[in-house]
Amino acid sequence: YQIFSLGSNPKLGNEIAKILGTKLSAIDTRQFADNEIYERIEQTVRGRDLYVIQGISDPVNDNFMKLMIFIDAARRASAKTINVVLPYFGYARADRKARSREPISARLIANMLESQGVKRVITMDLHADQVQGFFDIPVDHLLSMPALGHYFYENDLLGDDLVVVAPDHSSVGRARKFAELLHAEWAVVDRRVDNLAANKSYAVTGNVTGKRAILVDDIIDTGTSMVVASEALVAAGVTKIYAVAPHAVFSDQSTNRLVESAIQQVIITNTIEVPVAKQFNKLIQISVA
């Protein structure tokens, strides 16, 4: 087999190759003055099983197009199979029509990959498990929660005073599983508008007062969900707040918001490479390589 890393996350690509005791295969990638993408696979791939690592992360559309152009090149070069490793599946949040005349972009991505002959997708911490069903090819859906949970174990942070908290109702399933992993109780920030308390923080359902809380979500994008939930937890009397999420999208002013919040540690993975400019001292990154 041969492994390629297309540049969305070079460090992760190199780490995976190192763990497998192999080298990434060479590819000549260029972007022309008008931003068109050019990629040429530099050695024969005829009859080979190819694994291509490329997250659909910011710049989302360029990164996805790089993947599609690579797949086209690999197919035309007679690769035996093309297996796509998507550490981060961008557009996965667009997984249903919530309002009329909306697209289902996650399904579109799945169709585009499959119609180009991709034989297998390996991805991590999907926004919703059912996105697997958008494909008719095998999807390996890997979870980073054990690795994230291990952080609490190896740093001696477990204990009876720990509670796992879903920052909103859509994260309850994930929070419950994480709570089971850590043998902790769980709670939820009830983010319905009619549950806004007079002091402008949402109420929390579950026993959190006097405890250390771990907020668990799949993505930190603008940081709003985590920060709003942390305000509710402070109002409810927690003693310490950790925020845990596999995917650090970190758009807009998210990192400033997190730095200024009451959250004491933000624990993420490297499914998305965090640029140096967006790193801050309470950030802890766990490798999923």
Residues forming contacts to ligand R5P in the complex (CB under 6 A) are 93, 127, 170, 217-225
Find the shortest distance in angstroms from Cβ 90 to ligand R5P: 11
d(CA 103, CA 239): 43
Cβ proximity to ligand R5P: between 12 and 228 the closer is 228
Cβ proximity to ligand R5P: between 132 and 239 the closer is 132
Please check whether residue 205 is in contact with residue 168, taking contact to mean a CB–CB distance below 8 angstroms: no
Find the shortest distance in angstroms from Cβ 217 to ligand R5P: 5
Cβ proximity to ligand R5P: between 79 and 244 the closer is 244
Q: How far is CA 188 from CA 48, 172, 215, 234, 263, in A?
A: 48, 7, 9, 14, 16
Say which amino acid occupies 119. K
Find the shortest distance in angstroms from Cβ 119 to ligand R5P: 29
Count Cβ neighbours within 10 Å for each residue of 108-144 and write b for 16 or more, e otherwise.
Answer: ebbeebbebebebbbbbbbbeeebeebbeeebeebeb
Find the shortest distance in angstroms from Cβ 181 to ligand R5P: 19
Find the shortest distance in angstroms from Cβ 1 to ligand R5P: 33
Cβ proximity to ligand R5P: between 16 and 243 the closer is 243
Please check whether residue 52 is in contact with residue 21, taking contact to mean a CB–CB distance below 8 angstroms: no
Nearest Cα to 83, choosing from 129, 52, 41, 57? 52
Cβ proximity to ligand R5P: between 90 and 206 the closer is 90
Q: Is 172 helix (H, G, I), strand (E, B) or coil?
A: helix
What are the structure tokens assigned to 26, written together?
Answer: 């060479």
Cβ proximity to ligand R5P: between 14 and 222 the closer is 222
Cβ proximity to ligand R5P: between 36 and 252 the closer is 252
Say which amino acid occupies 183. H
Burial class (CB in 10 A: 0-12, 13-18, 19+), 160: exposed
Find the shortest distance in angstroms from Cβ 231 to ligand R5P: 13
Please check whether residue 2 is in contact with residue 45, taking contact to mean a CB–CB distance below 8 angstroms: yes
d(CA 12, CA 191): 35
Find the shortest distance in angstroms from Cβ 170 to ligand R5P: 5
